[in-house]
Amino acid sequence: MPEKIRLTIFTDGGARGNPGPAGIGAVIKDEQGRLLAFVSRYIGRATNNQAEYQAVLAAMEEAQRFSPAAIDFFLDSELVARQLSGAYKVKNRELAPLFVKVHNAGLSCPKIVYHHVPREQNREADKLVNQAIDQALK
């Protein structure tokens, strides 16, 4: 049986107009920093926070292929990172169902930690968001 790995995942979501045309991006790497998978998808009309949650959810679904023992998520949305960590309550009715979906998807992984990082440290995922939106709006 293969050894379970620890994944590092950078996610981002963005909307032009907030709400507006939105996209998600995620970069999934192994412990050595090797790229395992990525997500770049247009999701239609959404707010920035909705897109952030959908990016985490899509990354979580993609990560399940690797049966990870642990996942470190890095997001440049302080609100979403802190809500998923349990430091902030989810008060927005639009975000609550997305929070529940992410929580439920994460039950398959023994350990998940959410980290807030500055936007400059999340450039790869941000680039995937913009590529998805640009492609959809052509």
Q: Could you state, in order of their start, the residue ranges of all structural domains in the chain?
A: 7-136
Residue with tokens 């995942």: 9
7-136: CATH, from 1.20.1440.230, 1.10.3720.10, 3.40.50.620, 3.30.420.10: 3.30.420.10
Average confidence (pLDDT) over 72-87:
97
pLDDT in tens, 46-56: 999 999 999 99
Sign of the torsion angle spanned by Cα atoms 78, 121, 128, 71: negative
Give the span between the Cα atoms of 60 and 102, in whole angstroms.
8
* Average per-residue pLDDT for the chain: 96
Give the span between the Cα atoms of 14 and 40, in whole angstroms.
11
pTM: 0.96
Average confidence (pLDDT) over 101-120:
96
**For residue 71, what pLDDT is reported?**
98
> Which of the four pLDDT bands, split at 50, 70 and 90, describes residue 134?
very high
**For residue 4, what pLDDT is reported?**
83
**For residue 70, what pLDDT is reported?**
97
Q: Please, where are the H alpha helices in the chain?
A: 48-63, 78-85, 96-106, 123-136
Q: Is 102 a residue whose pLDDT tops 90? A: yes
